């Protein structure tokens, strides 16, 4: 298994085990849909996106509330338009 595949598996894991079931479902579906379409730079952005706390991601997704510059991450815009 190459380094990129290991990185993808780590990202999948991080999206599946967030702490709340709602975020597990929301993020894991998003990541599963796009992970094999992303290039290395996008995967790095996804990694940074997953560093945001659940509350920040959920507020941005549901209400458009911008905290901690979540809107500066390129993945967040794609995530905001993602529907489950």
pLDDT tens column, 14-45: 999 998 899 999 999 999 999 999 999 999 99
Asked if residue 84 has pLDDT above 80, the reply is no
Q: How confident is the model at residue 83 (pLDDT cuts 50, 70, 90)?
A: confident
Would you say 56 and 68 are in contact if contact means Cβ atoms under 8 Å apart?
Answer: yes
Q: What is the pTM of this model?
A: 0.93
Please tell me the predicted confidence (pLDDT) of residue 19: 85
Whose tokens are 């709340």? That residue is: 20
Within 1-84, where are the H helices?
A: 3-16, 21-34, 40-49, 54-63, 74-80
Please tell me the predicted confidence (pLDDT) of residue 1: 79
């Amino acid at each position: 298994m190459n380094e990129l595949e290991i990185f993808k598996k780590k990202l999948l894991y991080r999206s599946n085990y967030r702490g709340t079931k709602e975020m597990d479902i929301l993020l894991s579906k998003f990541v599963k849909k796009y992970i094999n379409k992303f290039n290395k730079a996008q995967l790095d952005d996804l990694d940074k996106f997953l560093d945001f706390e659940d509350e920040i991601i959920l507020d941005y997704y549901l209400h458009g509330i911008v905290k901690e510059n979540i809107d500066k991450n390129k993945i967040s815009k794609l995530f905001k338009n993602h529907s489950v």
